[in-house]
């Protein structure tokens, strides 16, 4: 990962946001702006990357104590981040978003498209196809995410979900589902039928687009 000093002025997070708007920013760049600066031994982009990794693993629920355990994060930065995360949760809630077509979940997950590892995500839906919540189930390698049906359905069972949509990013750039993607989809559909929780779709996505298995008659 490049350091701030190695970037041209137009590529630096603050200048990029001013020129292109917040929507054009990656999660790491947005975090870097919130942090303001790094420390003597840790560049701000490096610290932002560590925070992002922890947030993904904890589904964006990190206490101040947990944030301070991240190398390069002290009490001031931890307090700022905790406040920003809570503010965003209060104002921007996926709960209640109605899903008419499976790709309607893309706005909830597209910020994972630039991740360097596969993130397997599960969106729980109620009987009216409204979003209950959106969670990261697992974080895998560059080209695969290790996931098991029991991990995928553990939280939807607690949510009393009627259906789920699962998705994962493809860091490799290809949107074509792998043999393993198709196999886990079959396993999830079968497990969901036993549990009474429908699998509506499995979406593969990256920064350029998405591949819906239901749209391609793969479910």
Is CATH 3.40.1280.10 correct for 102-212? no
**Dist CA 7 CA 157 (whole Å):** 46
Is residue 200 very low, low, confident or very high in pLDDT (cuts 50, 70, 90)? very high
Name which of 70, 130, 67, 50 is nearest 97 in CA terms.
Answer: 130
Q: How many helices (H) and strands (E) does the chain have?
A: 8, 5
pLDDT tens, residue by residue, 28-75:
888 888 888 887 788 888 888 888 888 877 665 678 888 888 888 989
Q: Quick one: average pLDDT of 187-200?
A: 96
Work out the number of other CB atoms within 10 angstroms of the CB of residue 207. Answer: 12
Work out the number of other CB atoms within 10 angstroms of the CB of residue 74. Answer: 11
Q: Are 194 and 161 in contact (CB under 8 A)?
A: no
Name which of 129, 182, 169, 136 is nearest 155 in CA terms.
Answer: 136
pTM over 0.75: no
Q: Is the pLDDT of residue 144 over 70?
A: no
């Amino acid at each position: 990962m490049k350091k701030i000093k190695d970037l041209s002025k137009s590529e630096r997070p603050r200048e990029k946001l001013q020129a292109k708007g917040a929507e054009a920013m990656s999660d790491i760049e947005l975090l870097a702006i919130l942090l303001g600066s790094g420390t003597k031994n840790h560049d701000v982009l490096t610290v932002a990357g560590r925070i992002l990794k922890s947030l993904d693993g904890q589904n964006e629920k990190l206490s101040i104590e947990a944030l301070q355990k991240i190398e390069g994060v002290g009490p001031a930065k931890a307090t700022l981040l905790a406040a920003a995360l809570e503010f965003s949760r209060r104002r921007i809630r996926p709960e209640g978003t109605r899903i008419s077509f499976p790709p309607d979940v893309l706005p909830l997950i597209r910020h994972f498209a630039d991740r360097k590892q596969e993130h397997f995500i599960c969106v729980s839906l109620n009987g009216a196809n409204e979003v209950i919540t959106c969670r990261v189930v697992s974080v895998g390698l560059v080209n695969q995410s290790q996931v098991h049906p029991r991990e995928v359905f553990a939280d939807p069972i607690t949510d009393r979900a009627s259906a789920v949509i699962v998705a994962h990013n493809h860091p490799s750039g290809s949107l074509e589902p792998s043999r393993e993607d198709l196999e886990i989809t079959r396993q999830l559909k079968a497990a969901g039928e036993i549990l009474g929780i429908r699998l509506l779709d499995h979406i593969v996505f990256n920064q350029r687009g998405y591949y819906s298995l239901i749209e391609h008659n793969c479910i």
